[in-house]
């Protein structure tokens, strides 16, 4: 009887160690099953990188003053990250931007994008009054007989876009927007099949008209 009690006591004393071993074996599995939390963007680093790499062309606050360079302020961060990644990979062609993007890590891109989107975009304005009516008609209603969809369907009536899906267009330089539509139409820019299909059905005047209208959107 005494021997049995001693053996039972020894077994009970061993249980914590056995439990710890079991927990140790299970811990990696539990850790692997836990969702990986995405790192938050660092806006301080984002501003520093933007100032060093982007500001010369896109403005100190993301509001480019040069029509050939897009305004980045208030743009959806997911869209900006996607474009930077595609410049870096070569999916979107631009020798200047590819060179800059090549120096950025994924974390750099995220930091820059979220900093840019935190800045308020300055409003733009339409310049060609005779084309505004045509531009508004295309933007809001498309071109039915050529099956051109309304731009507002994806980019919203105000040009605010839809976060993580369609970029903000409101107030963008008309020259920049027209250039991108032309690149899509002519096969120079190939990183959006949807936009390639839309732009393929637009002529130069229509592209100029809708781009000018977009510049004045609020």
pLDDT tens column, 39-75: 899 999 999 999 999 999 999 999 999 999 999 999 9
End-to-end CA distance of the chain: give it in Å, rounded. Answer: 90
Q: For residue 30, name the pLDDT band (cuts at 50, 70, 90).
A: very low
Where do the domains of the chain lie?
43-117, 129-215
Please give the CATH number for the structural domain made up of 129-215: 1.10.760.10
Q: Please tell me the distance from the alpha carbon of residue 154 to that of residue 165, in angstroms, as a whole number.
A: 8
pLDDT at 110 over 70: yes
Write down the pLDDT at residue 47: 98
Q: What is the distance between the alpha carbons of residues 133 and 150, in angstroms, rounded to a whole number?
A: 14
What per-residue confidence (pLDDT) applies to 142? 98
pLDDT of residue 41: 97
* Nearest Cα to Cα of residue 79 among 71, 197, 157: 71
Predicted local distance difference test score (pLDDT) of residue 31: 39
Q: 194: closest CA among 185, 205, 182, 203? A: 185
99: Cα separation from own chain's centroid: 19
- The pLDDT score that the predictor gives to residue 38 is 72
Contact 142, 149 (CB under 8 A): yes
What's the pLDDT tens digit per position in 68-103? 999 999 999 999 999 999 999 999 999 999 999 999
The yes-or-no answer to whether 43-117 and 129-215 have a common fold is yes
Q: pTM above 0.95?
A: no
**Number of C-beta neighbours around residue 122 at 10 A:** 15
**For tokens 């990986």, what's the residue?**
36
Residue 1: per-residue pLDDT: 41
Percentage of the chain exceeding pLDDT 90: 80
> What totals of helices (H) and strands (E) does the chain contain, helices first?
11, 0
Kindly report the CATH number that applies to the domain delimited by 43-117.
1.10.760.10
Residue 23 has pLDDT above 90, yes or no: no
């Amino acid at each position: 009887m005494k021997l049995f009690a001693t053996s039972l006591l020894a077994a009970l004393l061993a249980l914590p160690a056995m439990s710890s071993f079991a927990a140790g074996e299970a811990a990696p599995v539990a850790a692997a099953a836990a969702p990986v939390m995405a790192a938050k963007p660092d806006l301080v680093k984002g501003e520093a990188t933007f100032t060093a790499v982007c500001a010369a062309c896109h403005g100190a606050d993301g509001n480019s003053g040069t029509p050939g360079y897009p305004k980045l302020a208030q743009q959806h961060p997911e869209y900006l990250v996607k474009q930077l990644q595609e410049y870096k990979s070569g999916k979107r062609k631009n020798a200047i931007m590819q060179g800059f993007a090549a120096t950025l890590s994924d974390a750099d891109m995220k930091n820059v994008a979220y900093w840019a989107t935190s800045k308020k975009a300055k409003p733009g304005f339409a310049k060609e009054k005779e084309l505004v009516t045509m531009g508004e008609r295309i933007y809001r209603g498309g071109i039915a007989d050529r099956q051109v969809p309304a731009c507002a369907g994806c980019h919203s009536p105000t040009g605010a876009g839809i976060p993580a899906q369609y970029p903000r267009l409101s107030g963008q330089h008309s020259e920049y927007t027209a250039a991108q539509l032309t690149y899509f139409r002519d096969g120079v820019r190939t990183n959006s099949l949807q936009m390639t299909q839309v732009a393929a059905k637009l002529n130069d005047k229509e592209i100029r008209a809708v781009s000018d209208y977009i510049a004045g959107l609020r």
